């Protein structure tokens, strides 16, 4: 990688990230501090490593997986990207007005060739709690996990019909 390409990568890393409408200012600030700590003075030797290599080492290190929440008429759908996570390592918890998604990864690589031996282990943990926009029926919630994407469908509580109230 040339000096010019490294310079572009550093500039790109310092650019503000696009945030979802559900990201609070505190979560955004935490992401900035994590990014600073990962690329800054806390880890001086990782500064010039390619981003892809860092992500392959630990799937959740220094970043938060993307989560989309879709508020439909009768249900709320939550989709979370959890790359490198197995179905058995995902836990979803529902409470009154929140949903918590937890995931864990453990990866180990071994390579042996004649006098060459390499072994790498990486771990990643993730937990995110989302506030739901309306009351839900948690007993009828359904979750599916395929190709690293968790999809959670939670039906809303039955709505009361709208009616006009006469103002006296």
20, 67 Cβ separation under 8 angstroms: yes
* Same domain as 148, residue 84: yes
Total domains present in the chain: 2
92, 99 Cβ separation under 8 angstroms: yes
- Structure confidence at residue 91 (pLDDT): 93
Helices (H), 20-65: 25-39, 51-57
- Structure confidence at residue 37 (pLDDT): 62
- pTM above 0.85? no
Q: Is residue 162 part of a domain?
A: no
* Same domain as 33, residue 77: no
Mean pLDDT of 82-92: 89
Domain boundaries, position 106: 65-157
Q: Is residue 105 part of a domain?
A: yes
Which pair of tokens denotes residue 33? 């501090």
Which pair of tokens denotes residue 61? 């290190």
- Residue 57, pLDDT > 50, answer no
- Structure confidence at residue 55 (pLDDT): 44
- Residue 77, pLDDT > 50, answer yes
* Same domain as 89, residue 27: no
* Same domain as 84, residue 42: no
* Same domain as 106, residue 40: no
* Same domain as 143, residue 72: yes
pLDDT tens per residue across span 19-44: 555 667 777 777 777 766 655 555 55
102, 94 Cβ separation under 8 angstroms: no
Mean pLDDT of 52-56: 45
């Amino acid at each position: 990688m040339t000096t010019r390409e490294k310079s572009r990568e550093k500039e790109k890393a310092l650019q503000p990230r696009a945030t979802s409408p559900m990201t609070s200012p505190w979560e955004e600030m935490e992401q900035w501090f994590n990014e600073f700590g990962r690329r800054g003075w806390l880890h001086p030797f990782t500064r010039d490593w390619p981003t892809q290599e860092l992500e392959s080492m630990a799937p959740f290190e220094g970043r938060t997986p993307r989560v989309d929440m879709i508020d439909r008429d009768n249900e709320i759908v939550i989709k979370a990207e959890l790359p490198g996570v197995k179905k058995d390592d995902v836990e979803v918890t529902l409470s009154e007005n929140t949903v918590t998604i937890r995931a864990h990864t453990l990866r180990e690589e071994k390579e042996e060739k004649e006098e060459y031996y390499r072994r790498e282990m990486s771990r990643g943990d993730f937990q995110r709690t989302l506030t739901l926009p309306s009351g839900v029926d948690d007993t009828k919630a359904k979750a599916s996990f395929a190709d690293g994407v968790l999809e959670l469908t939670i039906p809303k509580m039955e709505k009361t019909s709208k009616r006009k109230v006469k103002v006296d």
